Amino acid sequence: MATVAFIGLGVMGYPMAGHLVRAGHRVAVYNRTRSRAERWLEELGDEHSVLAPTPREAALQGDYVMLCVGDDNDVRAVALGPDGATAGMEPGSVLVDHTTASATVARQLDAVCRENGGSFLDAPVSGGQAGAEKGTLTVMCGGSEESFDKASDVIWSYAANVTRIGPAGSGQLAKMVNQICIAGLLQGLSEALHFAERAGLDPHRVVEAISRGAAQSWQMDHRADTMLAGEFDHGFAVQWMRKDLGIALREARARGVSLPVTALVDQLYAEVEAIGGRRWDTSSLIARQRHAHRRAPTPSGDDARDDDTEAETVHEEELQ
């Protein structure tokens, strides 16, 4: 049994901290909105669970300190300063940051922890709210082998796959790779399903056929039906995907790497936000295409063009 401080009880952190309790660990929690921490204590805590008034007080009670907050600024707010988690960490303890943040802040926290006699892992997760609730997250870790070996047993409490990628910052870079892949896949799937609909095909039958071939993906298996139904009130929100893609695009610019598809999909997500989809699931890219199609004029009479020309026009509009 380990003593764990868990800081940040949002959509992901709330169930993750609960899995730690079920795994038999002693858990001290902190959340900036205290009422949510109180609700967690009532719903998921046990007789060993405690509510801490500050990140520092939570860290004082933990051999392991887990963070799961929003972005770089949130990480610094709860980790640094006199009331931050690092101020309460004992020598030998491990800070594990599950936030999807920049590699820069990961390296900063790694340096602070080492100066204080502790260690650090940047450990962003993939799997969304469902994965957090089921305890089946994929965790990509950056940090020393010693830190990874020490903390991985605790991380397995809510994960189905835990992998050390490399030194501090590597976990965040791997998460950027993950989000780049997902963004491109979702746009491709959105275009494909919309095309199937406009071509007069039964899109469900098409998906049944192609999902058994090279086009198959997790997104197709888990999101195609809800995309066709226009259901987006689940999963990973567009606002958070845009935050993640922004991190990846900034990192790419700093390294001189071109990510044209990622940059385009980020712009398309901005259009989803503009039609009210800020909190929709990331699969809502298809809603943008349907919205754009409804607004587009229908050629008729002398203005009608053959299919090839029309296809080129649609392609041009999609890139604008």
Active site residues: 175
* 3-class DSSP assignment, residue 239: helix
Asked if residue 96 lies in contact with residue 89, where contact means CB atoms within 8 angstroms, the answer is no
- Specify the DSSP class assigned to residue 297: P
Q: What are phi and psi of 150, to 5 degrees?
A: -70, -40
Q: Residue 12: which of 270, 283, 240, 249 has the closest Cα?
A: 240
What's the CA gap between 54 and 46, in Å, rounded?
20
Residue 287: CB partners within 8 Å, gap ≥ 6?
A: 230, 232, 272, 275, 277, 280
**At residue 198, what is the residue type?**
R
What residues contact residue 191 under an 8 Å CB cut-off, 6+ apart? 289, 318
Cα 11 off chain centre by: 11
Q: 204, 225 in Cβ contact below 8 A?
A: yes
Q: Give the end-to-end CA distance of the chain in Å, rounded to a whole number.
A: 55
- Contact indicator for 155, 143 with CB cutoff of 8 Å: no
Number of H helices, E strands in the chain: 15, 9
**CA-to-CA dists, residue 134 to 46, 96, 140, angstroms:** 19, 20, 18
